[in-house]
Amino acid sequence: MHKHTFRRVASAAAFLLTLGFGTTSCDDVVEVDPRASLDLSTGLSTPSDVQAGLRGSYDAVQSVNYWGLRYMMFADLGADNARHTGTFPTFAQIANNLILPDNTELASIWNIIYSGINRCNYVIVEGRKITDPSFTTKGEVIAQARALRAFHYMNLLGYWGGTPEGYGYPGGLGVPLRMQPTADINSPAIQPLARSSEAVVVDSIKADLTYAISKLPNYSSAVGGGGSTNSRASIGKVAALALRMRLELRLRNYAEVINYANQIQATYGTTVPLEGIYANIFSNKFSTEAIWELPFDAVDANQIAFFWFPTANGGRNEVDPATTLAGAHETGDSRLPVNVASSPNPTGATRKFFRVTGDDNVLLIRTAEVLLSRAEAYARNGQLFEALTDLNRVRARAGLAARAGLTQAQLITAILSERRIELANEGHRWFDLRRTNTVQTVRTDVTQTYRNLWPIPQRERQTTQNLVEQNPNY
């Protein structure tokens, strides 16, 4: 993950040191010498420093404990799109929704997200101080860092926040809200923080995204994910709009979902584009469908295909598609051989990630999500014609007949089913079940509704002397 860049920043500014949030498990990206005190005044003092800091902020997202494997995979493994076929007991807990607070996977995910937040905070705070007139992308860099910070907090709320019913309900639980960098072990900013309410965290997310939307070009020209020069590797205005749309969908603010989806469409012209062939979204990097795509290569590698593929094909086969996923596809659905392939794994695998060298890109946001989110919002608001229009565009690409003559309830069900198949094993399903309060409907074996929220990692509780309260009943 461009460790040579990271080490340069670390030696100059100790940018990567996130005291109190040490990474664990398979994440070996952060490689710095621990220090008790770091002088921020010698840190990100030039435009190139801040640009490098932004690259480091994106790199956190690439971690195998984040969107390089675990965070994304567990959203389908804990739902009904993937099943556990391997030997890791920590993965089995996720698959069975019997997660213990001392599950090391949780701590690894929690830690890397807060590490990412700290990197964003550092870029934001130090970037604002630079007055060099040659730093013409200063506003854009800060806006990207704020959008990334919003993305991180959305992801924390996804697993640990809200209520058993979903997100945005009264009394919703949040997470500790850190808005300042922690680079000095004696700084007040490093002290343990209690959890903020979900509402307070949501307000912070909205503020960051509002700022980003107002400052960013449609597709960013500033440095971004993995050091890639492709504008889709960074958060631009379109990606920030899509993140806000995603947030509003989770909060059931359907008029706002339509509003932000329409703003996305306006950036393209009259329609939201789709890649012509479903398989090409994943076989070709940065397709026309990509809004924000996380780049990987043989050096900056993820472990996604390795965990899907069998040992005979260079993997460890820790997971397979769920046994019900293939049957959820209609006859003739062109997505089936991508979602549940018969080769190279005879028992089924996904072809969305097939490079065992770890250089599959990860689509964080694509246009099909925009269409299906707007379709659902239209349907819930009673605008059935508009909902069918968006739904049937996605179905047409899959080679399926248009839906027609559905009641509002039938149409909502059809859209949610389409969403499951279209976005299968891309890291959406658990959050869709949570926001629609259907975890127990779909996963009938999960009878304890408190498990709809993950437990706060035990290590976080211990290091904060239990200041960070545990989710109920754990």
Q: Is 427 among the domain residues?
A: yes
How would you classify the pairing of strands 319-321 and 82-84?
Answer: antiparallel
Q: Is 392 among the domain residues?
A: yes
Q: Is 464 among the domain residues?
A: no
Q: Is 456 among the domain residues?
A: no
**Cα angle for residues 61, 66, 71 (degrees, 5° grid):** 140
Supply the pLDDT for residue 349: 87
SS3 letters across 225-274: HHHCCCHHHCCCHHHHHHHHHHHHHHCCCHHHHHHHHHHHHHHHCCCCCC
pTM: 0.92
Q: State residue 82 phi and psi, 5-degree precision.
A: -140, 160
Among 192, 205, 206, residue whose Cα is nearest residue 456: 192
Counted domains in the chain: 1
- Burial-class residue 350 by CB neighbours within 10 Å (0-12, 13-18, 19+): buried
Q: Which helix (H) or strand (E) holds 201?
A: helix 198-215
Supply the pLDDT for residue 342: 80
Contacts of 413 (CB under 8 A, 6+ apart): none
Q: Is 222 among the domain residues?
A: yes
Domain that holds residue 193: 3-307+358-443
User: Are 66 and 112 spatial neighbours (Cβ–Cβ below 8 Å)?
Assistant: yes
Locate 404 and state its tokens: 């027609």
User: Are 274 and 394 spatial neighbours (Cβ–Cβ below 8 Å)?
Assistant: yes
Contacts of 348 (CB under 8 A, 6+ apart): 320, 321, 326, 340, 341, 342
Q: Is 236 among the domain residues?
A: yes
Supply the pLDDT for residue 222: 62
Q: How many residues does the chain have?
A: 474
Query: 415-431 burial, b for 16+ CB within 10 Å, e for fewer?
Result: bbebbbbbbbbbbbbbb
- What sign results for the dihedral spanned by CA atoms 388, 392, 395, 401? positive
Q: Is 135 among the domain residues?
A: yes
Query: 80-113 burial, b for 16+ CB within 10 Å, e for fewer?
Result: bbbbbbeebebbebbbebebebebebbbbbbbbb
Cis peptide before 217 (omega within 30 of 0): no
Amino acid at 212: A
Supply the pLDDT for residue 35: 29
Q: Is 458 among the domain residues?
A: no
Give the residues of the chain that fall short of pLDDT 70.
Answer: 1-42, 184-187, 189, 222-227, 344-347
| pLDDT tens per residue, range 194-249 | 999 999 999 999 999 999 999 999 998 766 566 677 899 999 999 999 999 999 99
Separation between Cα atoms, residue 408 and residue 251, nearest integer Å? 20
CA 392 to chain centre: 26
Separation between Cα atoms, residue 103 and residue 251, nearest integer Å? 28
| pLDDT tens per residue, range 424-436 | 999 999 999 999 9
CATH label of the domain that carries residue 409: 1.25.40.390
Locate 365 and state its tokens: 């946001």
